[in-house]
Amino acid sequence: MNAAVSAARRGLDALRRSMTAQISLAITLVSVLIILFFGMMIDRFLARELREESELLLLSNLAFIRDDLAAAGNDPALAPRLVDRATRRTRRLHAEIVDEQRGSVIARSANYAAPAPAPAPPALATELLPAEATVAQVEGLRGRLGAVTSIWEAPDGIRYRVLRGRIPLPAQGAQPPRSLLVALAIETTPTRELRRRNRQNLETALAVAAVLASLFGVWIARRILVNVRGLGAAASRIGALALHERLPLDDTPTELVESTLAFNHMLDRLQNAFDRLSAFSSDLAHDLRTPIGNLLGEAQVALSRPRSAEEYRAVLESAVEEYERMSRMIANMLFLARADNQAAVAARWTDVRSALERVAGYFELLAEERGVVLELDCPAPSGAAPRVWADESMLVRALSNLVSNALQYAQRGTAIRLAAAEGAGGDCRIEVSNEGPPIAAEHQPRIFERFYRVDASRQGSASGSGLGLAIVRSIMELHRGTVSVASAPGRRTVFRLHFPAEGAAGGSPPDIAER
């Protein structure tokens, strides 16, 4: 029993995993159900036609007996001859004529006794019958009188369809009017045999249809799924060295176009990520090669001959600077890596003015050395200081990176302006702007990428790692906000941070800036 259940489960699992089997089974079931439905309808139509044919035969013979009896002067003595004529006219017909008043059988066909079926329909008045009975007239009689025939099963098991009619006889001389009860019966064995053969043919047709539908379903399924297999083959060819290849849309079925487009879009994202990763690796190797080359060169020079303690100290001090630079680069890379895996930040309402003053305090001495002034523009028209829904440590880090970048390019004697404004819906916009060389339009969309530098020769790379603006973008993405830049000749370069309102920055996981 357990083995049978396990086999059934394996079969169901295989069916669920196979689209070919599912399509073939669906086509088979639909075909069998359609044939079964039409077969049942044909059987019902055949049964009705055979019943109407039998009833028409019985009504026609009843009309013949009535007309023949009237033509012979309504003499009951002619009943045996009429019964003989009717049974010879129709071999399957049996007849019986009874004197209704006397209750005696006047005539009866051989080997037949037609009792009144229980419950028996009332005897049909023959005056209702037309001279020639048709199918339409039979339907009309059935509609007016209900069932005009009934089924009776003889003791030998043979079933008959029975029609009972009453033929009135006019008075003859001193005799009062009389009536004859005529019972006509016809065997239903041939019609039942015909229906049985029809059902056997239907069963054979169902079996053949099931086999043909299964084979046809498998062929159709494979024809349909050839496009899916083609997509799979194309997908298998795509690798790290062929990320540019895309699944074709020309011959793709309509039902698979959306999936194909989604797959191609996924490949676009993968290719973009792969290109970024390749560029990241190249830039990382380039930026690490410089300090390591400096360290190696200074160490080799120092070891080329004996040195004094002061010379060794100078080498170590130079090495410390390179170590600090690499340490900052690694710390920034760790921050970006953790930011990529973090879904939300521990945001709360933060005083924007306090954060700006804090950042300005950090860079005040450096700004004085470079002859640049730091200006704060944080109005509070409603009397309350502007607030931002953000993680305070990340906000300060983003602002610090923007101010550090502005100090690097600001012209001496100009001002770096830090401005903030709170929106009516609870959002906040912070701007850091400076006067300096404009950023070309073709570089503006990419300056927030990791290790991207406007100067392709990477001059001045020792002063930074190229990760500051990338960290700003990661921080804004964690807050569900945006960062943008606007720069043009003759205008100030403006970096804008837009923080959404409360609740838009997600939940409160641990602060990655403090890990």
Instruction: Cite the DSSP H helix spans in 90-173.
Output: 135-145
Q: Which residue has the higher pLDDT, 204 or 100?
A: 204
The per-residue pLDDT of the chain, averaged, comes to 78
Band of pLDDT at residue 467, cut at 50, 70 and 90: confident
Band of pLDDT at residue 485, cut at 50, 70 and 90: very high
Please state, as a whole number, how many other Cβ atoms lie within 10 Å of the Cβ of residue 277: 11
Q: Which residue has the higher pLDDT, 6 or 440?
A: 440
β-pairing, 493-499 vs 482-486, is antiparallel
Q: Measured between alpha carbons, how far is 149 from 54 in angstroms, rounded to an integer? A: 9
Residue 38 has pLDDT above 60, yes or no: yes
- Percentage of the chain modeled with pLDDT above 70: 77
Residue 513 has pLDDT above 50, yes or no: no
Band of pLDDT at residue 462, cut at 50, 70 and 90: very low
Q: Measured between alpha carbons, how far is 20 from 225 in angstroms, rounded to an integer? A: 8
| Burial 32-71, CB ≥16 within 10 A → b, else e | beebeeebeeeeeeeeeebbeebbebbbbbbbebbeebee
Specify the pLDDT at position 460: 45
Q: Where in the chain is the domain with CATH 3.30.565.10?
A: 342-514
Q: Measured between alpha carbons, how far is 451 from 279 in angstroms, rounded to an integer? A: 8
Q: Which residue has the higher pLDDT, 231 or 498?
A: 498
Band of pLDDT at residue 202, cut at 50, 70 and 90: confident
Mean pLDDT along residues 149-171: 82
Who contacts 7 (Cβ-Cβ below 8 Å, separation ≥6)?
none
pTM of the model: 0.48
Tell me if 225 sits within 8 A of 19, measured CB to CB: yes
Residue 163 has pLDDT above 70, yes or no: yes
Mean pLDDT along residues 50-76: 81
Q: Which residue has the higher pLDDT, 321 or 135?
A: 321
Mean pLDDT along residues 150-164: 82
Q: Measured between alpha carbons, how far is 9 from 193 in angstroms, rounded to an integer? A: 43
Specify the pLDDT at position 341: 61
Q: State pLDDT tens for residues 263-313.
A: 888 888 877 777 767 766 766 676 677 778 777 887 887 788 888 888 878
Q: Could you say which of 3.40.50.720, 1.10.3720.10, 3.30.565.10, 2.30.290.10 is the CATH number of the domain covering 342-514?
A: 3.30.565.10
- Out of 88-97, 180-189, 504-513, the most confident range is 180-189
Mean pLDDT along residues 133-162: 75
Band of pLDDT at residue 7, cut at 50, 70 and 90: low
Band of pLDDT at residue 509, cut at 50, 70 and 90: very low
Specify the pLDDT at position 433: 93
Specify the pLDDT at position 9: 67
Q: Which residue has the higher pLDDT, 432 or 59?
A: 432
Mean pLDDT along residues 109-114: 71
Who contacts 405 (Cβ-Cβ below 8 Å, separation ≥6)?
468, 469, 495
Q: State pLDDT tens for residues 361-413.
A: 889 888 999 999 999 887 765 556 788 888 888 888 889 989 998 998 899 99
Paired with 181 in beta bridges are 98, 166
Q: Which residue has the higher pLDDT, 268 or 121?
A: 268
Band of pLDDT at residue 457, cut at 50, 70 and 90: very low
